[in-house]
Structure 1
Amino acid sequence: MTIATAAGEAKVAVDGRTNPRFLLVLTHGAAGGVEAADLLAVRRTAVELGGAVARVLQPYRVAGGRAPGSAVKQDEAWLAIIADLRKRFRKVPLIQGGRSNGARVACRTAQATGAVGVVALAFPLHPPGKPELSRAGELRSAGVEVVVINGDRDPFGVPDPADATLVHVIAGEGHSFKKGVGEIASVVEPWLVRWSAE
């Protein structure tokens, strides 16, 4: 389906139950898409636990862009997308997340959307080679529990354990999680179960 925002249309694929235990909304990295292996692993786990999962291709990607542009505009579009999805899934807990830039969006907007938690995959702590430009504040200011899963070889860095509720590091992985999706699923599963019971 498509959802209109001030930044253009977003494309949303919804999987899972029509009367779910929770709604999980996921989005992609800056130049990526919603078929990334880590996103699919989290989606599969959530559906198996009785959730509904909405994978969002953001408006700038639908329009063919590779850079997300202004964080303010991106967050405004995300809030519109979540508001539309909440009309369809009214009374269940909302969990949001994404990989890389999508994880940043999920953290920045968590309080405004009323999310109960965030799943942050490959959170880009800083631009490659520029650790002084830390984005740890986005994790700390999410206002909800945040589960971070990063590879220990990620050139964007690995958040400190103090920056989130849980920081799980996968050995031998970079930014794109070429392996280890089973480990991602096993880390996320208990959090999805607990959040869905709130």
Structure 2
Amino acid sequence: MRDSAEERRVTVGERVGEVSALLLKPEGARLLYVLAHGAGAGMRHPFLESMAGRLAERGIATLRYQFPYMERRARRPDPPAVAEATVRAAVEEAARATPGVPLIAGGKSFGGRMTSSAQASAPLPGVRGLVFLGFPLHPPGRPGDERAKHLSQVHIPMLFLQGTRDDFADLKLLQPLVQRLGGLATLHLVRDGNHSFKLPKRAGKTDTEVMAELVDAIVEWTARLT
């Protein structure tokens, strides 16, 4: 499936220009996940490549895309306004590429947070739910939930996939947050996983098995949306 991804361009706006994207659409796709990358690695990172391929095997298409700073190979992420505009443009491109296919959106860490921020500002057209692959609730060693204040303005279902050793999300803060969001929020914990869903050797679980767990959780959750 990895080799069959179609390269596309996403137009963000006159000032920003275009960014690259990859559409992986299995035959008869029942859903498309608009999948954003994290702050430190782009859309071709092995984790996202694997995620896209595994989801395709389960009938879920993906549109991965670059944020403008990553397209320029800059280190500093875009300002929220630019990142949110990019999310919105990617969602619009996904709808054009797969007319009639229901959409979900989200992504890894920074990408998931920017997607939720865009959704909180104004609903993303056609998006039925958000999936976060390691929501970055706070910087490591600086616990707090200010980064999640906007989630109260998200009125569609949300799935949080989080490692129990994630130093970007203290579970003592994340679990009460999910509870406050009520029935719209679902939390799936990967035991012993860190922010990259890596497990210590003592856990006795391979990266492949962890990816299978993540994909299973997404497939089961999305089945309730469609």
Pair in the same fold by TM > 0.5: yes
What is the aligned partner in structure 2 of residue 51 from structure 1?
60
Residue 212 of structure 2 corresponds to residue 182 of structure 1? yes
- Where do 1:16-165 residues align within 5 Å? 16-17=25-26, 20-110=29-119, 111-132=123-144, 134-157=146-169, 158=171, 159-160=174-175, 161-162=178-179, 163=181, 165=185
What is the aligned partner in structure 1 of residue 223 from structure 2?
193
RMSD of aligned residue pairs (Cα, Å): 2.1
- Report how many residues are paired: 196
C-alpha displacement at 1:16, in angstroms? 1.9
TM-score, scaled relative to structure 2: 0.78
Unaligned runs of 5+ in 2: 1-7, 199-206
- Residues 191 and 132 of structure 1: CA distance in aligned 2, closer, same or farther (over 3 Å): closer
Contact 1:127 1:133 in 2 (8 A): no
In 2, the alpha carbon distance for the partners of 1:20 and 1:182 equals 19
Larger radius of gyration: 2
Secondary structure, aligned partner of 1:95? strand
C-alpha displacement at 1:172, in angstroms? 1.4
Indicate which of 4, 12, 25 corresponds to 2:11.
Answer: 4
Contact 2:163 2:190 in 1 (8 A): yes
- Measured against aligned partners, the alpha-carbon deviations of 1:131-185 in whole angstroms (never above 9, x if no partner) come to 2353222333222111001111111114223146111121211111124222211
In 2, the alpha carbon distance for the partners of 1:190 and 1:114 equals 20
What is the aligned partner in structure 2 of residue 15 from structure 1?
24
Unaligned runs of 5+ in 1: none
C-alpha displacement at 1:41, in angstroms? 4.6
Contact 1:26 1:56 in 2 (8 A): yes
In 1, the alpha carbon distance for the partners of 2:158 and 2:44 equals 22
Contact 1:95 1:115 in 2 (8 A): yes
Secondary structure, aligned partner of 2:166? coil
TM-score, scaled relative to structure 1: 0.88
